[in-house]
Amino acid sequence: MFKTIMLVIGVIILGVAGLFGLQMLGFASFSFFAPKMAEVQNEVFHNTQAYTDGMANDLGDLKIQYEMAPDQGRKDSIRAIIRQRFASYDKSKLPSELRDFYFSL
């Protein structure tokens, strides 16, 4: 009887240890693959038509604000916003008039 109880307890302990080990393997796997998956998702997002259209619309709105700015100080602040926001954006995806505007700043 005592052997049976010890055997059941041993099996339970081994089972819990096995589950713990599998959980740790899952964490290790996640920590390895999660950054790679996030990078791919980010790259896919930045290549979508919605993102490209949104950036073009954003630059178009900023262009209007820039052209309607009453003084040079306001124009300088809008120029700084445009440069910062579009620093890492592929300008070849912009329509030609917006691309020309960006490079004229």
Mean pLDDT for the chain?
88
- Measure the CA–CA gap between 30 and 4, rounded to whole angstroms: 39
pTM (2 decimals)?
0.62
Task: Write the burial class of residue 69 (CB in 10 Å: 0-12 exposed, 13-18 middle, 19+ buried).
Answer: middle
At 26-57, the pLDDT tens digits run 888 888 898 999 999 998 988 888 999 988 99
Helices and strands per DSSP (H, E), number in the chain: 4, 0
At 64-100, the pLDDT tens digits run 998 888 888 888 898 998 999 888 888 888 888 888 8
Q: One-letter amino acid identity for 83?
A: R
Q: Is-contact 59 82, C-beta < 8 A?
A: yes
Identify the pLDDT of residue 37.
92
